[in-house]
């Protein structure tokens, strides 16, 4: 546990957010690289939008809403639970839950149970890995689609587990923030 805490402390410091801020604020989890983002970078996001947000459809990567001046309710992550290795979305009372631990597994949203499929490690560099599978990372897909059936400028990418590699670093290095950069 000490090693996990030390790595998480280093992750928090490396992402530029003071530990007191992380433990006090809701945050969004966003890629360090904006990739092809037109409005903003990509954040962990519940599928659907507005009244159509549907936790049963799982997590995706989506344009971060912080460019509007506040975090999107379907992108808010509890920083205290994040610091303990759980991706908890408090507005919907669900936790990120891997559907498997192999390449291509998706991220479901389920009631929090503290199980292995809901436990994540955050490396000093910003990789997010299932705690039980240290060679796999949360990775947005390379293909981009526009939201609302193509009528929105918000961009969406799938979110799956993939092997952690230097070549995929732009798609695998994350940080947290409580407002737009």
Distance between start and end Cα atoms, the chain: 32
Q: What does pTM read for this prediction?
A: 0.82
Contact 66, 77 (CB under 8 A): no
133: domain CATH number is 2.80.10.50
Provide the number of structural domains found in the chain.
1
pLDDT at 71: 86
Q: Measuring CA to CA, which residue among 146, 149, 159, 147 is closest to residue 120? A: 159
Tokens coding 28: 């969004």
pLDDT on residue 146: 86
Segments forming the whole domain that contains residue 164? 2-177
Q: What pLDDT score was predicted for residue 181?
A: 63
Q: Find the radius of gyration of the CA atoms of the chain.
A: 15
Per-residue pLDDT tens digits of the chain, which is 181 residues long? 444 444 444 444 444 443 333 334 799 999 999 999 888 899 999 988 777 889 999 999 999 888 888 888 899 999 999 989 999 999 999 999 999 999 999 999 999 999 999 999 989 899 999 999 999 999 999 999 888 666 678 899 999 999 999 999 999 999 999 876 6
């Amino acid at each position: 546990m000490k090693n996990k805490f030390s790595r998480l402390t280093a992750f928090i410091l490396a992402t530029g957010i003071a530990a007191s801020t992380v433990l006090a604020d809701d945050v969004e989890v966003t890629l360090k690289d904006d990739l092809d983002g037109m409005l903003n970078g990509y954040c962990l996001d519940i599928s659907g939008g507005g009244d159509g947000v549907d936790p049963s459809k799982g997590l995706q990567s989506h344009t971060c809403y912080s460019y509007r001046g506040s975090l999107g309710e379907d992108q808010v992550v509890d920083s205290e639970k994040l610091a303990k290795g759980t991706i908890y979305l408090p507005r919907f009372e669900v936790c990120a839950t891997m559907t498997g631990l192999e390449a291509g597994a998706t991220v479901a949203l389920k009631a929090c149970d503290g199980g292995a499929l809901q436990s994540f490690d955050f490396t000093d560099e910003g990789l997010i890995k299932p705690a039980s599978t240290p060679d796999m990372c949360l990775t947005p897909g390379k293909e981009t689609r526009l939201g609302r059936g193509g009528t929105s400028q918000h961009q969406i990418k799938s979110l799956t587990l993939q092997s952690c590699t230097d070549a995929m670093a732009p798609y695998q290095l994350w940080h947290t923030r409580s407002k737009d950069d």
